[in-house]
């Protein structure tokens, strides 16, 4: 399986440099990754570099903790879209989730979906599955997945637990068929990446993308 087209080649550390962003974009084109995912300040530069290619530019909103005010998330998303982002990975308000305030969460997600879809952009909703119970994951799938979002994403990569096969299986079972799954956080080798795709993920967020694809059986065979 060639999984490069399923990968969002990612760098989101707070010390990211422009040189690292340029390298990320070069690798994304070289290996055929679906998108680069990077901090909002670098969206404009990445969009310029990748304009002649099919690689999309993704960025984050409310990252990594999700407790920014909804108004701040909307403003952040609008600026990223203006700068050239094709895809927005938004962290839900986990404080609201833990208080079972689904009205707040649904309003927030609906607003962000409207901002993205009005401009033809993709919205991925990050629920941080590694720190949620199965019941909370199911509720996210049922209550937020019905709002017309494009993807539900497992994790930011900043919690104590990232993507898991169990979470992807659970999301696959309870999301509407129109909502795709992005798994991220702790994906460092081809075997785990493939297992997540087999479990139902359509996208993977990886900072070890090059190691993953060069470690695949297909790539190893091509080099002999």
Query: What is the set of active-site residues?
Result: 89, 153, 182
Supply the DSSP string of 45-107, one letter for each residue.
Answer: HHHHHHTTSS-EEEEEESTTT--S-HHHHHHHHHHHHHHT-SEEEEE--HHHHHTT-HHHHHH
CA distance 222 to 217: 9
Alpha helices, DSSP H, located in the chain: 18-31, 43-50, 70-83, 94-98, 102-118, 134-144, 165-174, 190-199, 209-214, 217-222
CA distance 14 to 44: 17
How big is the chain, counted in residues? 224
């Amino acid at each position: 399986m060639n999984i490069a087209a399923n990968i969002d080649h990612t760098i989101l550390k707070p010390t990211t440099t422009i040189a690292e962003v340029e390298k990320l974009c070069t690798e994304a084109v070289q290996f055929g990754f679906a998108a680069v995912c990077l901090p909002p300040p670098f969206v404009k530069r990445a969009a310029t570099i990748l304009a002649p290619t099919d690689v999309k530019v993704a960025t984050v909103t409310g990252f990594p903790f999700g407790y920014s005010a909804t108004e701040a998330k909307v403003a952040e998303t609008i600026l990223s879209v203006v700068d050239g982002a094709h895809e927005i990975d938004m962290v839900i308000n986990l404080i609201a989730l833990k208080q079972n305030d689904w009205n707040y969460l649904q309003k927030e997600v609906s607003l962000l979906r409207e901002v993205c879809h009005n401009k033809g952009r993709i919205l991925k909703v990050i629920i941080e599955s590694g720190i949620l119970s199965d019941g909370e994951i199911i509720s996210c799938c049922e209550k937020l997945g019905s709002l017309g979002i494009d993807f539900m994403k497992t994790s930011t990569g900043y919690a104590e637990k990232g993507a898991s096969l169990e979470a992807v299986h659970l999301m696959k079972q309870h999301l509407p068929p129109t909502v795709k799954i992005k798994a991220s956080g702790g994906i460092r080798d081809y075997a785990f990446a493939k297992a997540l795709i087999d479990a139902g993920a359509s996208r993977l967020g990886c900072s070890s993308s090059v190691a993953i694809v060069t470690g695949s059986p297909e790539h190893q065979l091509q080099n002999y």
